[in-house]
Amino acid sequence: MSNKECITIEGVEYYCKEQLGQGGAGAVFRAETNDGNEYALKKVKVSSEFIDAEKSGREPRYSKEERFLREIKFCLEDHSPRIIKISGYAVCGSGENAHLYYAMPLCAGSLSSVMRGGVDVESAFRYSEQLLEALEVVHSKEVTHRDVKPDNLLIDENQDLILADFGIAHFAEVAIID
């Protein structure tokens, strides 16, 4: 993705500015909308079979894509301020160039970056309490995150913790929105 690339998600144009990170499943970019708001934009490569299923309204049965759709469906809901909220998603491209994108709030950093600078006792207790609050909500929805680590615990502009990256989570059927 170039720094000038524009991705349209549910009528909103996101202009990519820089890559923030790279994981096993995809990459995350800093993006800006026409109104100057910044977001994090996740880009995941998908198969052509997934594109065909998405266009026809069929539920895809391909493990990576199915995981990401479950993650998106779960995070589109406003469960708690402690759980990342996706603002929209789109499938772009075709064939070998097909990608799934979704937009979410751009946070100040992660707990991993905060820990590098040192965490005082009061902040450690607050982050622990906020993580437990997030996990209580997640588990009440019959979801198991399975990848809780400092890199997946985002810190917002108010220094509050947000649980993110449900890519390998286990979702009970009741957790998925139809």
β-strand partners of 7: 14
Q: What is the DSSP string of the chain?
A: --TT-EEEETTEEEEEEEEEEE-SSEEEEEEEETTS-EEEEEEEE--HHHHHHHHHTPPP--HHHHHHHHHHHHHHS---TTB----EEEEE--GGG-EEEEEEEPPSEEHHHHHHT---HHHHHHHHHHHHHHHHHHHHTTEE----SGGGEEE-TTS-EEE---TT-EE-GGGS--
Contact 159, 110 (CB under 8 A): no
Catalytically annotated residues? 147
Q: What is the largest CA-CA distance in the chain?
A: 53
Q: What are the backbone dihedrals phi and psi of residue 163, each rounded to the nearest 5 degrees, phi first? A: -80, 130
